[in-house]
Amino acid sequence: MKITKVYTRTGDQGETSLVGGVRIKKSHIRLEAYGTVDELSAHLGLLVAMLETGEEHDFLIRVQNNLFNVCTHLATDQSQTPLYPSAHLAEGEIELLEKRIDEIMQSLPERQGFVLPGGTTTAAQAHVCRTVCRRAERRIAALTEEAQIAPEMQQYVNRLSDYLFVLAKIINFNAGKSEIVWQNVCK
C-alpha cells in the first residue's frame, strides 16, 4: 500500500476513523488499546536496532508484524465492521512465544527473587518493552469489557510480556552482566 498523503485533517477535532470508517473520539478506550500496542511496537523497534542480527532480532521483527495484526483487530468495531483477514494472528503464534520462552529459560541459571530492571542498555530496553506490553494488556482487558475482542489477542500480549522478561535476562546473561535482585529495605 502506497501512502500518498500523511495528513488528512480529519482528526483535527479529536476524532479518528476505525477500520471500516467508524468515527470515535481519540480518548476512547479502543484507541488507547491499539495506540499502546503501537507504542510497544515502536519500543520494540528500538530494541531491534540495539540487537545484532540473529535469532532474537528476527523473532522481534516477527512480533512487530504480529502486533500490526493485533492493532487491526483492536481498531475494528466488530458490531459495525467485519474483521479483515489481517485482524487475526496466524495459527500457532502464541505457542511459538511459549516455545521461545521455554528455550531461553532452559539456557539460564536458576535464580531466586525479583529482578530490578536494568543490566545492559539493551536488556533495560527489553524491560521498557515489557512494561509497555503490560500496559497494553491492561488496555486490551479494559476494552474487552465493552467490545468483542478475540481472546487470543490478550493471550498473545500476555505471553509477549513474559517473553520480554526472559529476553532481558538472556541478554544480560550473554553479556556477562549480573542482574540486581530486589532487596527489601523495609525490615
Residue 11 has pLDDT above 70, yes or no: no
pTM of the model as a whole: 0.91
pLDDT digits (tens, 9 = 90+) for 95-115: 999 999 999 999 998 776 788
Average pLDDT of span 122-143: 98
Contact predicate 147/87, CB 8 Å: no
**Can you read off the three cell numbers belonging to residue 115?**
529482578
What per-residue confidence (pLDDT) applies to 12? 64
Spell out the alpha helix ranges (H) of 52-109: 55-74, 93-106
Bigger pLDDT: 157 vs 9: 157
> Left (φ > 0), alpha (ψ -120 to 50) or beta: where does 115 sit?
beta
**Can you read off the three cell numbers belonging to residue 111?**
535464580
What per-residue confidence (pLDDT) applies to 112? 65
Residue 42 has pLDDT above 80, yes or no: yes
Residue 178 has pLDDT above 80, yes or no: yes
Strand ranges, E, within the chain? 15-17, 23-25, 115-116, 180-181
Backbone angles phi, psi at 80, to 5 degrees: -125, -20
pLDDT digits (tens, 9 = 90+) for 45-84: 999 999 988 889 999 999 999 999 999 999 999 999 999 9
**Chain mean position to CA 6:** 25
What per-residue confidence (pLDDT) applies to 110? 77
Mean pLDDT score across all residues of the chain: 91
Which stretch of DSSP H or E encloses residue 35? helix 29-50
